[in-house]
Amino acid sequence: MIARVTLEIALRRDFDYSIPEEMVNRVEVGSRVKVPFGSRQVMGVVTALADHSPHTNLKPITKVLGEPGMVTPEVLSLARWMGEYYCCPVELALKSVLPEAVRREKDGWRERLLVRIQTPVGEFPTLTKRQEMIWRIIEEWREIPLQELVRIGETTADTVRRLEDKGLVKITAERSERDPYANEVVVASEPLVLNPRQASALAAITSAVDRRVALAGDRQAPFTGGAFLLHGVTGSGKTEVYLQALAHSLERGLGGIVLVPEISLTPQTVERFKSRFSSGPLRTLVAVLHSHLSSGERHDEWHKIRSGRARIVIGARSAIFAPVSPLGLVIVDEEHEGSYKQEESPRYHARDVAVVRAQREQAVVVLGSATPSLESYHNAQRGKYTLIELPDRVTDTKLPLVRVLDLREAGKGGKGGAPPIFAPRLREAITQRLERREQTILFLNRRGFSSSLLCEKCGYVAGCPNCSVSLTYHRAAQQLLCHICAHEEIAPTKCPQPNCGNPAIRYSGLGTERVEDTLKKLYPHATIQRMDSDTLKHKEDYRRVLTDFRTGKIDILVGTQMIAKGLHFPNVTLVGIVHADLSLHLPDFRAGERTFQLLTQVSGRAGRGDVEGEVFVQTFTPFHPAIQYARRHDFLGFYEQEIEFREQLQYPPFARIALLTVKGRNEDKVKFTVDHLRKELDKWFAGWRDLIIAGPAPAPLARAEGFFRYQIMLRTKAMSRLSQELAKHQETLILPDEVTLTIDIDPASLS
């Protein structure tokens, strides 16, 4: 037998190896193997088995690692597709598919030592006082982890070893699983009685799952379950529909994957899934995959899935590769989220991969959102996805009333004409909530105190030496910090220009730190908590703050996008968006869409309980469509005007984008290379009629971490073909030293 192996060292082809007889039963597609390569031993993954090889003198596989079949053949072929579509080497795609922790040997099972009682042969040995005491504990427990025994007996491992010498106990190494949620108590939850809208949404999904079951085994049969787009306002009961659809899949013997953005993978969300499947006939483990797991934890979660003990997986982006088999249902919640896109190679979009995977494995996919992406909604409009709508909140609460506050107006009459941080009406509203003992959330999408340091005398602005952005002032740390490369400097007390030295330097622009500071001055008796990556350094912090907020210990929560999503607090009746324009003026065709989504998401935090909610949006551009449609909760209105603009300019969803970025430390070299690249592109793709090539131009972030960045943008409807062609031509392209080219297919942002 021959095994075809993709090696982990970056090479674009497979190699054939012979399978030694003693390994024949253990090698299958997806097995991890160690093989000789030159004078080295390297790791690889078996991608195919064959009877014959065109090559002679094949070397044998040295070793098979781990349990067989770590990747399902389906996921393996998905990796191949990813490599091709996203223009990246298959090995890199394979690395995403199979987490580091599972690939490597060293993060294998954790062994723990277990002490077990033994009946001594012959006479009972004499023991010292200390040994006697430990023996009594063991007698009571019969079996106890060594570590635990050492702790409660206040003893040493050596003392226990002496007991082993005397034949009273046996110490053995046992495999144990790490469980990141080991200390949690899960309370079982029952399915809720659905309202009519939810019920018909569920019926549509479950009947697609049933059609899939009817096809089972027949891979060739066309499967018309396709995909669903579940458009439902926040609080419309989407999650309850997901839970019941998953239960239906389990009943039919199929597993499920639930993708949520990393940021909304809160303990609250995870708990809802765990508790639903913690008891009853559908009982199964729910595996959780996210980036904060230790590699050992990741290894164990992965095995729970592969062995079939966890049939539901909930996780961020990379959970789409979880080896759930057979797969019945894939849910992508908040499908519009930009964070589903991986920013390094392979630059895949987990939502799009989900749709492809589901199609290949004849599974049903549900994309859910209160503010669907233009791409997905367009797909629903033209019948590619089935649209399901949940336009109302479950409880009779109305969507919050949104008021737009014009900061230009609020600025008039203020000192120096500068607008206050809070317009008077927002201030009144906050005061009112404090009086009524209701809670407030204030949102600003920028951390730090001030966004820039400016000398009004000489015009100096503190900029990053490595990036084309200004440094943000963090007052608590007395630092100037770059939010791109994390460069930090001590904040100066006077202008640092040698021939200026003006002591009256000014910090301008807002950050969450300043919002918190101002609030503390305005409301000295209120409990105010800031929540951003500066205040939350440990993973427990997040949970603690949310618990404090839920139990009413905090009156006002100030934060970045960390607080925008997925949180459900009935006592929050006021949400203030401190500066809505921040995301509006980004040089990106999706700026309007992102702003609309963000405003809708943040607004959705208000009024989830008995009292109607109120939202204040502070802005300098009150009549911008993204703000006006968000104010009226009018997704369709926004979609219709935005889609028109996309069509005129041939932006997605009317074309797909390939973004080519050339980077290097020497600007001349970068410019030369990108100009040359443009000429080559014109040659390669001469006569390609629907292809639009724009650029080169400096990237919106023209310099980052010391690298100059120039871009060329390609747009076409035929992206699969374009990415294949690009990969082919890229190999012939010779780049100067220290200049790199990255290709991003379907970029989520143009920065």
Out of ligand ADP, Zn ion, none, what residue 76 binds, judged by CB under 5 to 8 A for its kind, is none
CB 23 within 8 A of CB 17: no
Closest to Zn ion by CB, 160 or 670: 670
SS3 422: coil
Q: Least distance from C-beta 464 to Zn ion, angstroms?
A: 3
Give the span between the Cα atoms of 692 and 699, in whole angstroms.
18
Give the span between the Cα atoms of 397 and 569, in whole angstroms.
13
The residues in 233-292 that bind ligand ADP, with binding defined as CB under 6 A, are 234-240
Closest to ligand ADP by CB, 187 or 476: 187
Q: Least distance from C-beta 368 to ligand ADP, angstroms?
A: 8
Closest to ligand ADP by CB, 236 or 318: 236
CB 201 within 8 A of CB 388: yes
CB 602 within 8 A of CB 566: no
Out of ligand ADP, Zn ion, none, what residue 236 binds, judged by CB under 5 to 8 A for its kind, is ligand ADP
Closest to ligand ADP by CB, 369 or 450: 369
Q: Least distance from C-beta 440 to ligand ADP, angstroms?
A: 20
Closest to Zn ion by CB, 242 or 707: 707
> Nearest to residue 430, comparing CAs of 614, 618, 620, 622?
614
Q: Least distance from C-beta 395 to ligand ADP, angstroms?
A: 6
Out of Zn ion, ligand ADP, none, what residue 239 binds, judged by CB under 5 to 8 A for its kind, is ligand ADP
The residues in 201-240 that bind ligand ADP, with binding defined as CB under 6 A, are 232, 234-240
Closest to ligand ADP by CB, 107 or 240: 240
Q: What are the tokens at 217?
A: 């085994």
| Residue 538 identity | H
Out of Zn ion, ligand ADP, none, what residue 394 binds, judged by CB under 5 to 8 A for its kind, is ligand ADP
Q: Least distance from C-beta 37 to ligand ADP, angstroms?
A: 50
> Nearest to residue 429, comparing CAs of 417, 418, 442, 419?
442
Instruction: Determine, following the binding rule CB under 6 A, whether residue 397 of this chain makes contact with ligand ADP.
Output: no
Q: Least distance from C-beta 233 to ligand ADP, angstroms?
A: 7
Out of Zn ion, ligand ADP, none, what residue 535 binds, judged by CB under 5 to 8 A for its kind, is none
CA distances from 163 to 84, 116, 128, 158, 159 (A): 61, 11, 10, 9, 7
Size of residue set near ligand ADP by CB under 6 A: 14
Part in contact with ligand ADP (CB under 6 A); list of ranges 33-41, 191-199, 586-594, 736-744: 191-199
Q: Least distance from C-beta 489 to Zn ion, angstroms?
A: 11
Closest to Zn ion by CB, 314 or 453: 453
Asked whether the bond before 419 is cis by omega within 30 degrees of 0, the reply is no
Among 18, 195, 268, 479, indicate the residue that binds ligand ADP (CB under 6 A): 195
Contact pattern from residue 6 through residue 45 relative to ligand ADP, giving x for each residue in contact according to CB under 6 A and a dash for the rest: ----------------------------------------
Instruction: Determine, following the binding rule CB under 6 A, whether residue 198 of this chain makes contact with ligand ADP.
Output: yes
Closest to Zn ion by CB, 359 or 466: 466
Part in contact with ligand ADP (CB under 6 A); list of ranges 194-202, 287-295, 462-470, 696-704: 194-202
Closest to ligand ADP by CB, 205 or 727: 205
Give the span between the Cα atoms of 452 and 448, in whole angstroms.
10
Out of ligand ADP, Zn ion, none, what residue 237 binds, judged by CB under 5 to 8 A for its kind, is ligand ADP
Among 192, 221, 694, 697, indicate the residue that binds ligand ADP (CB under 6 A): 192
Q: Least distance from C-beta 492 to Zn ion, angstroms?
A: 17
SS3 408: helix
Angle between helices 350-360 and 73-85 (to 10 degrees): 130
Give the span between the Cα atoms of 363 and 223, in whole angstroms.
9
Give the span between the Cα atoms of 18 and 60, in whole angstroms.
5
DSSP 125: P
Closest to Zn ion by CB, 487 or 543: 487
Out of ligand ADP, Zn ion, none, what residue 490 binds, judged by CB under 5 to 8 A for its kind, is none
Closest to ligand ADP by CB, 286 or 495: 286
Q: Which residues contact 524 (CB under 8 A, 6 or more apart)?
A: none
Part in contact with ligand ADP (CB under 6 A); list of ranges 56-64, 167-175, 190-198, 261-269: 190-198
Out of ligand ADP, Zn ion, none, what residue 466 binds, judged by CB under 5 to 8 A for its kind, is Zn ion
Given the structure tokens 């990813």, which residue do they identify? 82
Closest to ligand ADP by CB, 66 or 237: 237
Give the span between the Cα atoms of 245 and 204, in whole angstroms.
10
Closest to ligand ADP by CB, 240 or 593: 240
Given the structure tokens 């934060």, which residue do they identify? 559
- What strands lie across the sheet with 32-37, from one edge to the other? 14-18, 2-7, 40-50, 32-37, 63-65
| Residue 23 identity | M
> Nearest to residue 626, comparing CAs of 374, 294, 421?
374
DSSP string for residues in 653-690? TSSEEEEEEEEES-HHHHHHHHHHHHHHHHHHTTT-TT
Among 11, 58, 194, 263, indicate the residue that binds ligand ADP (CB under 6 A): 194
Q: Least distance from C-beta 264 to ligand ADP, angstroms?
A: 10
Residue environment code for 438-458, b if the CB has 16+ CB neighbours within 10 A, otherwise e? bbbbbbbbbbbbbbbbbbeee
Out of ligand ADP, Zn ion, none, what residue 185 binds, judged by CB under 5 to 8 A for its kind, is none
The residues in 649-668 that bind ligand ADP, with binding defined as CB under 6 A, are none
Out of Zn ion, ligand ADP, none, what residue 467 binds, judged by CB under 5 to 8 A for its kind, is Zn ion
User: What residues make contact with Zn ion under the rule CB under 5 A?
Assistant: 464, 466-467, 482, 484-485, 487
Closest to Zn ion by CB, 234 or 472: 472
Q: Least distance from C-beta 390 to ligand ADP, angstroms?
A: 7
Backbone angles phi, psi at 482, to 5 degrees: -90, 125
Q: Least distance from C-beta 462 to Zn ion, angstroms?
A: 11
Q: What is the CA radius of gyration of the chain?
A: 29
Q: Least distance from C-beta 695 to Zn ion, angstroms?
A: 24
DSSP string for residues in 605-650? TS--SSSPPEEEEEES-TT-HHHHHHHTT-HHHHHHHHHHHHHHHT
Closest to ligand ADP by CB, 393 or 446: 393
Closest to ligand ADP by CB, 121 or 193: 193
SS3 455: coil
Out of Zn ion, ligand ADP, none, what residue 484 binds, judged by CB under 5 to 8 A for its kind, is Zn ion
Q: Least distance from C-beta 238 to ligand ADP, angstroms?
A: 3
Q: What are the tokens at 263?
A: 């940021």
SS3 378: helix
Q: 3-state DSSP helix/strand/coil percent for the chain, to nearest 5?
A: 35, 25, 40
Residues near ligand ADP, by CB under 6 A: 192-195, 198, 232, 234-240, 394
